[in-house]
């Protein structure tokens, strides 16, 4: 293990931060996590490819499998249909390898609860409703005060505080701001029985997909083109989403429209992205996850890349003799890999806005997925 790392502060208790707490704890580092949100939230996400191996390395794959929707060989979740429900493509080509874990669809709060339980079981402390007040790196440590009045010194600080990362702004004040892709993400969580015809539907107003989750939930993500600077109220969000559903005649989407009512649990966010130039560290502070490489969801790999980041960080700290060597080894393994995800996702967003045929989008996505089939 890096001889100069025995304590770590992780700023952000989302997927990246809690995964890092597990990985570093397993490497013998005493971890504290600060998270502003009082409770886990969010919609759903898919975890596929090598990210499922990272989950297994964290020791949570089997428990998460029991709380998730496994995407087995017979799934239609990646199928691409037109607005009438006619099959356009069975989805991008994905690599196969011996012993590959089944991809999972999971409710984000269920994933975060499992990650937090696991991290705490390994001795990590998780403080909610708290973040950093002051951060001062001097000598051989980072001295931190928190918004709940505590003071402590750490060997390592991990910035896992998302696309709007304050940690990134602190250590890289010159860094670019997240860029708008030209599209908005809509997410709808609804209760109810499964609907036949899971998959993605492409229509004149945008595209949407859906799949069923344990707990009698259905997750419906959607993507629409909107001008830069668009700001949506709850009423605007409902109107845009209603118009999108109304543009389809596919029976599955018609049924979704029937279930939509005012007050629905809808989340609308601009699809923004950032790929911070290497390196993602300065001094004893390292950025991981969306703080370093936020992406649009066109590949469904943002959460997976955050988990991989955490696992690789744990491996590097466990293997390398110093923190500097661990950081360098981490960057050597991560930068090119996450660049594929961010750059391909932005390219797919652009192709959608240009009205490119589904076959072109699937070819671009397939090439990226095949590259990501290599071990992390």
For the full predicted model, state whether its pTM sits above 0.95: yes
Nearest alpha carbon to residue 170 among 294, 284, 88, 330: 284
- Number of other CB atoms surrounding residue 294 within 10 Å: 25
Please tell me the predicted confidence (pLDDT) of residue 2.
77
Nearest alpha carbon to residue 18 among 306, 300, 334, 275: 306
Burial of 196 (0-12, 13-18, 19+ CB in 10 A): exposed
Write out the E strands in the chain: 7-11, 30-35, 44-47, 69-70, 80-82, 87-89, 104-107, 125-128, 132-138, 141-146, 151-154, 156-159, 179-191, 199-203, 206-213, 217-225, 266-273, 281-282, 285-287
Please tell me the predicted confidence (pLDDT) of residue 1.
78
| Matching residue, tokens 């005060």 | 145
Residues 262-310 pLDDT 10s: 999 999 999 999 999 999 999 999 999 999 999 999 999 999 999 999 9
d(CA 313, CA 307): 10
Please tell me the predicted confidence (pLDDT) of residue 73.
87
Please tell me the predicted confidence (pLDDT) of residue 184.
98
Please tell me the predicted confidence (pLDDT) of residue 3.
79
Element (H, E) at 364: helix 358-372
Q: What is the CA radius of gyration of the chain?
A: 21
Residues 37-89 pLDDT 10s: 999 999 999 999 999 999 999 999 999 999 999 999 889 999 999 999 999 99
Please tell me the predicted confidence (pLDDT) of residue 95.
94
d(CA 227, CA 237): 14
Under-70 pLDDT residues of the chain: none
For the chain, what percentages of helix, strand and coil (3-state, to nearest 5) are there? 35, 25, 35
**Start-end of H helices in 154-205:** 166-171
d(CA 209, CA 80): 9
Domains of the chain, first to last? 7-74+101-177+273-372 (3.50.50.60), 181-271 (3.30.9.30)
User: Six-digit token pair at 129?
Assistant: 């409703």
d(CA 306, CA 111): 13
Question: Would you list the DSSP string of 298-360?
Answer: SSS-HHHHHHHHHHHHHHHHHHSSSHHHHHHHHHHHHHHHHHHHHHHHHHHHHHHHHT--HHH
d(CA 298, CA 181): 11
User: Six-digit token pair at 326?
Assistant: 């661990």
β-strand pairing of 179-191 with 217-225: antiparallel
């Amino acid at each position: 293990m890096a001889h100069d790392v025995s304590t770590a502060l992780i700023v952000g208790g989302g997927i990246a931060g809690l995964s890092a707490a597990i990985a570093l704890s397993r490497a013998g580092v005493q971890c504290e996590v600060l998270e502003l949100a009082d409770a886990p939230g969010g919609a759903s996400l898919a975890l596929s490819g090598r990210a499922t191996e990272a989950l297994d390395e964290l020791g949570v794959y089997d428990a998460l499998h029991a709380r998730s929707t496994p995407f087995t060989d017979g799934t239609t979740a990646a199928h691409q249909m037109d607005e009438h429900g006619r099959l356009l493509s069975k989805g991008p080509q994905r690599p196969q390898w011996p012993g590959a874990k089944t991809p999972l669809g999971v409710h984000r709060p269920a994933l975060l609860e499992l990650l937090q339980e696991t991290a705490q079981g390994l001795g990590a402390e998780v403080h909610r409703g708290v973040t950093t007040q002051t951060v001062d790196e001097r000598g051989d440590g980072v001295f931190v005060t928190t918004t709940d009045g505590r003071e402590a010194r750490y060997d390592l600080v991990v910035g896992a505080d998302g696309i709007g990362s304050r940690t990134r702004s602190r250590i890289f004040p010159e860094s670019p701001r997240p860029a708008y892709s030209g599209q908005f993400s809509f997410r709808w969580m609804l209760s109810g029985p499964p609907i036949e015809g899971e998959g993605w539907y492409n229509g004149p107003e945008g595209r949407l997909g859906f799949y069923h989750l344990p707990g009698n939930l259905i997750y419906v993500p959607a993507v629409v083109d909107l001008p830069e600077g668009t700001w949506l109220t709850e009423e605007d969000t409902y109107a845009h989403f209603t118009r999108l559903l109304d543009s389809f005649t596919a029976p599955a989407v018609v049924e979704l429209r029937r279930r939509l009512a005012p007050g629905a649990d809808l989340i609308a966010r601009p699809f923004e992205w950032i790929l911070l130039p290497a390196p993602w560290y300065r001094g004893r502070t390292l950025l991981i996850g969306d703080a370093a490489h936020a992406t649009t969801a066109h590949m469904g790999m943002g959460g997976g890349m955050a988990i991989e980041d955490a696992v690789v960080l744990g491996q590097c700290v466990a293997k390398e003799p110093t923190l500097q060597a661990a950081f360098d080894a981490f960057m050597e393994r991560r930068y090119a890999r996450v660049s594929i995800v961010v750059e391909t996702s932005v390219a797919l967003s652009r192709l959608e806005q240009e009205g490119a045929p589904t076959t072109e989008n699937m070819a671009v996505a397939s090439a990226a997925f095949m590259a990501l089939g290599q071990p992390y």
